[in-house]
Structure 1
Amino acid sequence: MIEVEHLSKRFGDRYAVDDLSFSVAPGEVLGFLGPNGAGKSTTMKMITGFLTPDGGTARIMGHDIQQAPVAAKRTFGYLPEGAPGYSDMTVAQFLRFIADIRGLSGAQREARIDAVVADIHLNDVLGQRLETLSKGFRRRVGLAQAILHDPQVLILDEPTDGLDPNQKHEVRKLIQGMAKDKIIVVSTHILEEVEAVCSRAMIISHGKILADDTPATLAAKTASGRLDDYFREITAGGLS
């Protein structure tokens, strides 16, 4: 599982993440929610080893991200903000490069690339350089590299950012299809996305957890029965 213990990060005199602890078990899809500046992306960067915490740690499938970073990183796929890539590579070249560094080879390598290209509908842009792609296609390529090695854990930061409604629907279906045998964390500001794909919702603000339950249970705490109303009220300090 993912185990986060007393994770903290300061920027100047401000805590972006403040003594955060939680765990995510196999089969769970955790929606990680919060207003801008809540600490969502900072938390994900620390869990995945791209940012060193000031305190605490995270373990992924039993591997401490600080003490055993290579072993930990083998277990997960990560889609960060912006989905950076090598702009002068074509999509096909980039996916082959990712397959190589993930240790895929031979028939397995080709089969995984073919499967991911089909699942994320990248056939039409395989020959294009990443720098020429639209924001939506760059996001889709970023998702492709995250799932290419069929990891046990997926950590996705705004996976549908820049996608049109049809593409969002396709990505949500893909996440739902992978959920039964993976651990998935999805950071998003789209509450309908949480309701569509997540079995659990965690809301943070100022680096602290405000709520952690199923989306339906949280929504039921408001008179309207809507998750977006609960989110607005709790992040404004109106609900306990």
Structure 2
Amino acid sequence: MSDQVSFGYEDVAPEEKTARVGGVFSNVASKYDIMNDAMSGGMHRLWKDQFVRRVKPQPGEAILDMAGGTGDIAFRMSAKGAEVVVADINQDMLDVGIERAMERGIDGLTWSCQNAEELSYPDRHFDAYTIVFGIRNVTHIDRALKEAHRVLKYGGRFFCMEFSTTQWAGFKEAYDLYSHQLMPRIGKAIADDEDSYRYLAESIRRFPKPPVFEGMIRDAGFERTKVEEILGGAVAIHSGWKI
């Protein structure tokens, strides 16, 4: 079992997870942003604003937004003058992002199909690396973190926002009920895809708790790591520096 990885509550071969996650996001791409609003009550917009404030994108900086698919984070950082590469392993998600950028008249973004575990960019290429609600879907998270460290310049910063499990008493039980019972039903109603949203709920439960994930970030070579928890840890902003 040591060569298996998690796909929701299942343990599967790495190549099977990669293929199945690809299928999930191809299925939900066209409804992804509507579902984000429905599932979070619109709060994901506030979380993303907060995340970008922590990143502090600067004019002319080269930033890689990994798993950036539909462009939500990239649009915000580009508005600050950063030169953003939107990367995603799923071309369907990128196509949605490109269409959204065209509708909004947002120019200057670069869109690239990339595997987070094997980036095509040279060493020390970017000033910052961001990944939002994406790293838990990566097959080998440790490899993705090492690649993030590799492509960053010295002095570069890593920022990741990911779901986890809240520790707030009372809210924890309600959140578990919502994730396992209501989220798949909302997925069925809006995106006609119950199974994909069941996987997404399960993947949150299998993702390492914030202190464990912070340790993984340090193991990849990052220093001055930090965790900022939101809603008792239901969402966490992780950061680290390449020094």
TM over 0.5: same fold? no
Structure number with bigger Rg: 1
More helix by share: 2
Q: Say which structure, 1 or 2, has more relative contact order (CA 8 Å, 6+ apart).
A: 1
